[in-house]
Amino acid sequence: MKKNGILNSRISGVVSELGHTDQIIICDSGLPIPYGVERIDLALKRGVPSFIETLETVLTEMQVEKAYIARELAVKSPEMHAKLKITLHQAEIITISHEQLKERSNNVKAIIRTGECTPYANVVLQAGVIF
């Protein structure tokens, strides 16, 4: 049994396989997931697991250099926007439209779906390097 870190075998595997500039998405329960992109569905019920809790856990093992968020988040969900900025404090945060974020979902390595029900609680994480 794994001693610490991410216990979900698929998330752990995806993170370990990422190279520089590869991307994954952590999303709310409503983001459409394109056919052919790996879906890691953690959603158990409304709000479980939360978006921030999932993001914090992934960040314990993933080196992130850039994060893309939807500009709609700041307007529709300002509390979540503030939490997200604090959680991603070490990454460059790039704001794009929600439509652009959905377009990016076609080219990511995996999408981790949470039980979050906050509008626009989605983030594209771009892998950095540790050296």
Domains of the chain: 9-127 (3.40.1650.10)
Which residues sit in the known binding site for substrate? 28, 98, 120-122
Summarize pLDDT for 59-99 with one digit per residue, the tens: 999 999 999 999 999 999 999 999 999 999 999 999 999 99
Query: Is the predicted pLDDT of residue 52 greater than 90, yes or no?
Result: yes
Check 20, 60, 103, 107 and give the catalytic one.
20
Cβ proximity of 107 and 21 under 8 Å:
no
Q: Which two tokens stand for residue 55?
A: 């993001």
- Of the CA atoms within 13 Å of residue 95, those in its CB half-sphere come to 9
User: Which pairing describes strands 64-70 and 123-127: parallel, antiparallel, or unpaired?
Assistant: antiparallel
**Average pLDDT for 42-66:** 97
Q: Is the dihedral of CA 63, 65, 71, 77 positive or negative?
A: positive
Reported as a single tens digit per residue, the pLDDT across 118-130 is 999 999 999 999 9
Confirm whether pTM is higher than 0.95: yes
For residue 20, indicate whether it is catalytic. yes
